[in-house]
Structure 1
Amino acid sequence: MNGPRTVRLRIEGRVQGVGFRMFVERTAVALGLDGWVRNRRDGGVEAVVSGTPAAVEEMIARCHAGPPASRVDRVEVLPEDEPVAPGFTVRPTV
């Protein structure tokens, strides 16, 4: 695959109230990824990330670890067709 890879991540566990969205935002910016992150009312965190396949894989690996106060039970990785705007944002909870 030569072009960008875009995936939707659904992260479950103790991932709200522990700085997980800020962790994802900082990590995405450091890796040069585009996309967004938001909390979900079900207690999870959801993100769409787009960039080089290697950077996306690194983001997935870092989401499995999470920030120090978190406990990640599951990271679901789904293909995503949604167009992704340049940059990385934090979106409101859904």
Structure 2
Amino acid sequence: MTGEPESRTVLDDGQKRHRELIQTVAARMGNNSFLIKGWALTLMGALLAFAAGNESRTVAAAGFVPIVAFCCSTDISCTRSGCSGGSTTRCGGRATA
């Protein structure tokens, strides 16, 4: 430390509101991603249980479709938006560094 005061950027009211808006959107997207993952997992479990009771391999294979589809769509959207960059961001519910 050199004893010099740190320069801090002062945000005006419009910038503060814009920052809050972005934080709200990011929180909502994270919540929606969490809910979709939960429903996909529930659907997969139900289809696998049904397949086990009926001994149906096609229904068992269909049980994996929601999880695979969601994971692939999340990875594709992360790749397109550049989440794999060097900064720490949240993408599809996963922290990337």
TM range (shorter): under 0.3
Q: TM-score normalised to the size of structure 1?
A: 0.26
Q: TM-score normalised to the size of structure 2?
A: 0.25
Say which structure is richer in strand: 1
Larger Rg: 2
